[in-house]
Structure formats: structure tokens, C-alpha cells
Structure 1
Amino acid sequence: MMISLATLMIISSCKAQNTGSNDINKNMERTTERFDTSTYYMERQGHEYQFEHYLRGKVRQFGGNNGSNYIEYAKKEKDLFGTYKEYYNRTATLKLVGKYYYNDFDCGIWKEYDENGYLIDEYDQDAPYKNYPWEKVEKFVKEELKLDLFDKNVSIRRYVSDKTNIPVWIIHYKVGSNIVSIKINANTGEIIKKGTNPIIK
């Protein structure tokens, strides 16, 4: 009886240890990426440093003054999406990384790391818009509105309404001397508002 009891205790103890180690392994993702402070301070003009990178495209870096974090935006000329990175000021280690749409919204999976490089948070910026994702907005803009997404007179934003908690897409584009605005409910894909306003000069 005592032997059976002791065996059961050992087995349950092993299971508890295994479960704990699995939880730790989930959070063991680590980055060693660091901001190149020496090049930044040597090459920057004024308060920022811009350069072309063969893989990342046009890179813009700024920050680091008065204890502020270092910020980097990188996007290829013919890409709609770029990469945002933020680095801790004290250690120059990567703090935050994610994708952004070149006009005005964050997208995809964003990751946050502590100053030792360990992953502390991960969130999906696209989650509220899964019923009417970017691909459907892109198709609507290109095929129905016949607009060029690279046109500076076309902008797309998105947000979750504070009042209704409904995720919405907003498309703005210029027609003559007017701005057309279309608001789409991202839960249903329905156009909930469309209006035209004159451009105020």
C-alpha cells in the first residue's frame, strides 16, 4: 500500500514538472536583434537616418534623444506594407516588431520583447477584421472602385468604434475637387456610410 502511494506521488510530481517545463518553453522565444547605434549616430542627418537596404527597401530611423526609444520604419517602394521596429534606448535590444500598411494602420502579428530579448506579448492586429479582411478590401478598391492603392489620393484606415465596438474600414479617395468617404462594417462587409465632401483649401 505504502509503495503504491509513493509511486503515485512520484508520477504526479513528474507530470507537474513536465507541465511547468512546457509552459516555460512556450515563452522561451528570444531575439538577439539590436539597433546599430554606432552607425546611426555616425550617419544620421539632423534627427534621423535614412538609407536604402537591398532587402528591406527604404529605411528610416529616428529617436534615441532624451532617453526615447529608437524607431525604425522600412518598406520597399512597390510594397503596400512595411515593417515597424522599436528598440529599447538603454540596451538597444528589440522591443516591438510588426507590419504596417503604408497609409495608416498596423496589421498582422505584432511581437513585444523585454530588454533581455524574451518574448513577453504577441497580438494579432487583424483579429477584429477577420470577417472582412484586407484581401476583401483590396479587391473592393481595385475591382469595384477602380482605384490604385499606390495613389496618394487614396487612403485606407481601420478602427474599432468606441461607441458600438464594431470594427470598420474607411476608404477615402479624391474625385475632382471632392473627397469620397466609404465606411464598411468589418463584421458584415456592408457599406454603412458613403459621402462626398468638397476639399477645403
Structure 2
Amino acid sequence: MIRQIIILLTLLVVIGSCKAQDNSSNNIKKNKNMERTTEKFDSWKYYTHRENDDYEFKSYLKGKVRQFGGENGSNYFEYAKKDKELFGTYREYYNKSKTLKLIGKYYYNDFESGIWKEYDENGYLIAEYDQDAPYKNYPWEKVEKFVKEELKLDLFDKNVSIRRYVSDKTNIPVWVIHYKVGPNIVSIKINANTGEIIKKGTNPIIK
């Protein structure tokens, strides 16, 4: 009887061990399927070359790059954009590990665009943010066409600016276009749900 009990206990231990190994194997497979980045901030280069609290340089792959941050435990930040391109890339890195925290596109005048990705300090993807979602009915491509073909404006002109926001009062996504005409600034607001111009006005430039 005692021998049978010992055999039974031994079998239970073996079965439990097999289940634990299976669970561990599943966790490993799950981790392998998770998106991970190994990108890190080059703090040595940054602190060696920076002037006046930031470091600016040109990169063949990134274009014109500006880096700053890192003081008093703050994260590191980077803005990079190639010449003759309207959109650049924003990166944020953790202070302690120097690993990539956040990456996404931005329009050179103001707004964030496309899918932004956030990673933990081990490099694993933890969140994605679709910055274009509120404006899907009247996306950037339509705004660009309107500005170029109807307003006849150059998007690289420093006197032309475009931004967007979701109204706190109405929850309506809005595009805002500003451009200079002589001594005045013209402002156009477009409802991004319908594509209709909801406001247009001209104001003198205050010097």
C-alpha cells in the first residue's frame, strides 16, 4: 500500500513538472512574438558634441537632427527631418536605460501624424496610437490637395501653417490653415468630419 502511494505521488510530481514546462514554453513563445526594439540613444556622442543644451547635426538617413534633454533625470528627445519633406520623425528615449520609449511622425509645422509606438524600458511594444483616426473622413491628403490646388499655396512657405485639433466643446475634429496675404493673416477652419469650411477670416498682422 505504501509503495502504491509513493508511485502515485511520483506520477503527480512528474505531471505537474510537465505542465509547468508547457506553460513556460508558451510564455517564451508569446514573448518572441511581441514586437521589440533594440534602438538606444547615443548619450556619449550627445554629451560630447552638444552646445547650449542641445545637439544638432545632419544624418544621411535622418536628415537634420536636433537632440536635447537628459538633465535632472528627464528623458532624451530627438526631432529629425529631411530637407524638402513635410514630415519628420520624433523619438523619445528613457533616461536611465537609454532605450527607445516613443516614436512617430510629425508635420514640420505642428501636428503629430500616423501611428505612434510606445515601448517599455526592456524594448517591448506596449501601446500604439493612431494620431490620424479623428481625421479619417477628411485626411491630410485632402488638406494637402486643397492647399495646393485651391489656395495655390506652397506648404514649405514659412508664412503657411497647418495644425489640427479636436474641439473640447463639440468633439469635432478641425483642421486650421493660416497663411499670409500682404499685411494680413487669413485663417480657415475645416470640419474634418464633413470637409466643410466652418470659418474663414482675415486679420491684420500685429507688429
What number of residue pairs does the alignment pair up?
184
State whether residues 160 and 168 of structure 1, in contact with CA within 8 Å, keep that contact through their aligned partners in structure 2. Answer: yes
For residue 81 of structure 1, report the CA deviation from its aligned partner: 0.2
Q: Which runs of 5+ in 2 are unaligned?
A: 1-18
Q: 1:139 to 1:118 in 2, by over 3 A?
A: same
1:1-201 equivalent positions in 2, closer than 5 A: 24=30, 28-201=34-207
Q: Which amino acid aligns with 1:191?
A: I
For residue 46 of structure 1, report the CA deviation from its aligned partner: 1.9
Q: Which runs of 5+ in 1 are unaligned?
A: 1-12
For residue 24 of structure 1, report the CA deviation from its aligned partner: 3.7
For residue 27 of structure 1, report the CA deviation from its aligned partner: 6.7
State whether residues 27 and 118 of structure 1, in contact with CA within 8 Å, keep that contact through their aligned partners in structure 2. Answer: no
TM-score by length of structure 1 reads 0.88
How far apart in 2 are the matches of 1:96 and 1:197? 38
Q: 1:38 to 1:108 in 2, by over 3 A?
A: same
For residue 77 of structure 1, report the CA deviation from its aligned partner: 1.1
Q: Which amino acid aligns with 2:34?
A: M
Q: Which amino acid aligns with 2:111?
A: F
Work out which of the two has the higher radius of gyration on C-alpha atoms and give 1 or 2: 2
State whether residues 27 and 119 of structure 1, in contact with CA within 8 Å, keep that contact through their aligned partners in structure 2. Answer: no
Q: Percent identity?
A: 81
SS at match of 2:143: helix
How far apart in 1 are the matches of 2:78 and 2:118? 15
For residue 36 of structure 1, report the CA deviation from its aligned partner: 0.2
For residue 25 of structure 1, report the CA deviation from its aligned partner: 5.6
Residue 8 of structure 1 corresponds to none
Q: Deviations over 1:1-47 (max 9, x none)?
A: xxxxxxxxxxxx9xxx7xx86x9469711100000000000111120
Q: Deviations over 1:34-81 (max 9, x none)?
A: 000000001111201100001110000000011110000000011000
Alignment RMSD: 1.8
How far apart in 1 are the matches of 2:31 and 2:133? 25
SS at match of 2:123: coil
TM-score by length of structure 2 reads 0.85
